[in-house]
Structure 1
Amino acid sequence: MMDTTQANKSNQEVGYVVSSKGYLTYLDGLPTIKINDLVTTEEGLTGLVHSLNPTEVEVLLLSSSTVPPGTQFKKTGKRLELEVGDYLIGRAINPLGLSIDGKGMLSRSKSEKRELEPPSNSIEAREFISTQLVTGIPAVDTMIPLGLGQRELVIGDANSGIQSFLINIIVNQKTSNLICIYAAIGKPISQITNLIHTLQINKAMDSAIVIASSSTDGSPLIYLTPLTAMTIAEYFKDRGKDVLVVLDDCGIHAKAYREIALLGGRSPGRESYPGDIFYTQAKLLERAGKFNKNFGGGSITALPVIELNLNDFTGFIPTNLMSITDGHLLFKSNLYNKN
């Protein structure tokens, strides 16, 4: 008589690679698969179901490997999840939850798994924003104060002091109970290394977490970076904590999503972005807010960042982010150079 494990394996759904376009793979089969389900090969290569076409399943490969036609993928029965816990504080990880700070493997003794894209909290879960987030920057705290749970866009030229401003805010929270999460989205490896080093020498990592994808990573990892940051923030929010999330840079995130969409043959819109780019980033930032006790009682303050030429900030993504957020902090390189 076959045992239950063997029976489950024999009934496991599979799909076979029909074609590939870089990190996008198309499978035939998997009749009950859903978007954001995980599939895997015998060799352990993992893919994320990104789209369901009439005759094929579109899968995002979560590594730089390629697969030839005919390769078998199995349905895992798992969703795109991340292990989260208090042990993440003080660490730097990639979007898949793997350590990148050279401190060894993460201790997962007290952890829980969370989906990267859960349903958004309704308006019933939210409270009015009434408490100030003290940034330690006098000009901000006195003239344009931020509230715990607010979404404030940080926009400016290259070399205008944006990253220094954001790092100063995190360093100034050392004596507070605020947990800071810095999502470095598609940044050069040298910049990520300098960020982690700066936070460490200022002892700011004691209450901070860095999630980073480099410019050499594939678009799938870059796309997942802010989702990982928000998922970790929601873990602490549900425990009554106040969390600050920096998303640097949402313009790079949008470009990664555009690349995935164009590679998948989706119809381009304005500036070649797919039609749902506004929905994608609005859904992401909607996860921030101040929440009542029935939904954890904590808050998530979001500081999305976009770097561009301020002589023309009427582009598609900047104006989208302006309409999604509650306000804007503008930085100019010529003023920064004048101190």
Structure 2
Amino acid sequence: MTELDDDLARWAAQAQTVAAAATLEPHQRERGRVERIGDGVALLSGLAGAGQDEMLRFADGGLGMAVTLAPERIGAVLLSPSAGIAAGSVVERGGAVVRVPVGEALLGRVVDPLGRPLDGRPAPVCQRSEPVERPAPAIVERDPITRPLATGITVLDAMIPIGRGQRELIIGDGKTGKTAIAADAVINQRDSDVICVWASIGQRAAAVNRLIEAVGRFGPRERTLFVIAEASAPPGLAWLTPYAACSMAEHFVEQGRDVLLVIDDLTHHAALHRELSLLLRRPPGREAYPGDIFFAHARLLERGAQRAAALGGGSLTILPIVATQGGNLTAYIPTNIISITDGQIILDPKLFHAGQKPAVDVGLSVSRVGGKAQPPLLRRLAGSLKLDYAQFLELEMFTRFGGMADERTRRQVEHGRRIRALLIQTNTRVRGLPEQAAGLLALGAGLLDPLAEPALAAFLDGLADWLATACPALAARIAATGELDPAGQSELIERLRGHLAALGA
């Protein structure tokens, strides 16, 4: 009996220890059932308290998000494979909206929209998470866009400049270099303090891998985050990609840092939005898109802004990509996004197949903000460049039908061809501000007009190295201030004249 008393006393002491260590409180769990599932969506019953965008957990461990609320049942999109989910399966409310991890641990990583690793490395350890859907900054929380975001692409930085906090659309037919322009803009941030976030929506794995490799080789890989929804990902997860990437980017903006977000591409995102809406039995509208398709993109792109100084002064620059068919800019989705953004870079397939890359249509492309943020020297040198180039294109078209009308026309056409040669760049071969300024100075002074094409190509290819060795002080002054006084310009022109003479001009 004494031994039994000792056991009882020991068990009572253990129970008291456990009770002291654990605080027992009531916990409410709301569960429902799957009524119908298929094609990445599910109809659920028994979850009357579920909220919009709330995370849902299925019995097999899968995740979903509530997107359509009704008294009897709710519609959800799946954020994970549905192999283990069937009609009658149990589903439970998550109790909060869908959130994504944010923080420094994500930089240099490749993750899916929920922050799960896709690069074979351990999961990033983040201390915070943020909702995927967040309100855009109010007008009083924004400042004017006054700082340039250099892309390293001469045709853009000189004639269609982009400012930090701007939303500039890249639009064109398939296979015309839209992704290459955005990739070069990311690569050019290797010498800046800009953080880059790339959101890829359902793109081919081979193309995404080439992009990651190019940024790793030439760009700021350690300051770049890739948020990838693979082609095989559930449509709900792919639809969530740009919103999740934007929340991850906004974390750095709130710290007063500058971020560049590329969304590749919103055409695919719009198709996913239409697909999910039709599966959830929402009323279709024009081209079968639901009525909220404009709002779906507006609430995303409006999050791009230059934050007020009182809020840290950070900026979120967004480069959305949109694909057209047959160059039709008046289609439903392109016109929607053109009306939301601050300008558009339009790519022409005829220019692309003619070998002019990047194939930017200078006449149709526009930046409604960036000119105010352009470096002073570049703005001055490129003042009449767009007009001169447009006149050259018109003259070149007429001269195809016959000979040159006079000597003045011939000189103007030859000068225009030098402009075109200056604007051609190969992928990943970005140009810094000193290199762009030196090229425009030589063009404006007429130094490039006598050059034959091989000599001109050699001059442009070696310009960056020549500046670093022959004019390091002038190049450093341009890079630091974005400006060069008249004496400095004269000195640089004379040195360029001597360099061209040495090349055999």
Q: Normalising by the residue count of structure 2, what TM-score does the alignment of the two structures yield?
A: 0.64
1:162 aligns with one of 178, 187, 190: 178
2:255 aligns with one of 232, 239, 242: 239
**Structure 1 runs of 4+ with >6 Å offset:** none
User: SS state of the match for residue 186, structure 2?
Assistant: helix
What is the alpha-carbon distance in structure 2 between the residues aligned to residue 326 and residue 5 of structure 1?
55
1:276 aligns with one of 292, 310, 322: 292
Count residues in correspondence: 335
Q: Where does 1:257-268 land on structure 2 (aligned, <5 Å)?
A: 257-268=273-284
Residues 1:106 and 2:123 aligned together: yes
Residues 1:30 and 2:42 aligned together: no
Q: Which residue of 2 aligns with 1:40?
A: 57
What is the alpha-carbon distance in structure 2 between the residues aligned to residue 295 and residue 18 of structure 1?
47
The letter for the 2-side match of 1:57 is I
The alpha-carbon distance between structure 1 residues 6 and 214, as it changes in their structure 2 partners (threshold 3 A), is same
Q: Which stretch shows the higher mean deviation, 238-247 or 289-298?
A: 289-298
What is the alpha-carbon distance in structure 2 between the residues aligned to residue 22 and residue 163 of structure 1?
29
| Per-residue Cα deviation, 1:221-242 (whole angstroms, up to 9, x for no partner) | 1101101110111000000011
CA contact (8 A) 2:31 2:46 kept: yes
1:51 aligns with one of 59, 65, 68: 68
User: SS state of the match for residue 189, structure 2?
Assistant: coil
The alpha-carbon distance between structure 1 residues 135 and 311, as it changes in their structure 2 partners (threshold 3 A), is closer
Larger Rg: 2
The letter for the 2-side match of 1:58 is G
Q: Which residue of 2 aligns with 1:124?
A: 140
User: SS state of the match for residue 47, structure 1?
Assistant: strand
The alpha-carbon distance between structure 1 residues 271 and 4, as it changes in their structure 2 partners (threshold 3 A), is farther
1:153 aligns with one of 159, 169, 176: 169
Residues 1:293 and 2:303 aligned together: no
Q: Which residue of 1 aligns with 2:222?
A: 206
User: SS state of the match for residue 132, structure 1?
Assistant: coil
The letter for the 2-side match of 1:267 is P
The letter for the 1-side match of 2:96 is K
Q: Which stretch shows the higher mean deviation, 28-37 or 175-184?
A: 28-37
* Identity value in percent: 34
Q: Which residue of 1 aligns with 2:105?
A: 87
Query: Unaligned 5+ residue runs, structure 2?
Result: 1-18, 357-505
Structure number with the bigger relative contact order (C-alpha 8 A, sep ≥ 6) is 1
CA contact (8 A) 2:169 2:341 kept: yes
Q: Normalising by the residue count of structure 1, what TM-score does the alignment of the two structures yield?
A: 0.94
User: SS state of the match for residue 307, structure 1?
Assistant: strand
Query: Unaligned 5+ residue runs, structure 1?
Result: none
Cα offset, 1:310, TM superposition = 4.6
Cα offset, 1:144, TM superposition = 1.5
What is the alpha-carbon distance in structure 2 between the residues aligned to residue 203 and residue 288 of structure 1?
23
Q: Which residue of 2 aligns with 1:176?
A: 192
What is the alpha-carbon distance in structure 2 between the residues aligned to residue 117 and residue 30 of structure 1?
22
The letter for the 1-side match of 2:249 is A
What is the alpha-carbon distance in structure 2 between the residues aligned to residue 307 and residue 111 of structure 1?
37
Cα offset, 1:6, TM superposition = 6.3
Q: Which residue of 1 aligns with 2:319?
A: 303
| Per-residue Cα deviation, 1:254-298 (whole angstroms, up to 9, x for no partner) | 000100000011111111100000001000001100011343320
What is the alpha-carbon distance in structure 2 between the residues aligned to residue 191 and residue 296 of structure 1?
36
Higher strand share: 1
CA contact (8 A) 1:148 1:300 kept: yes
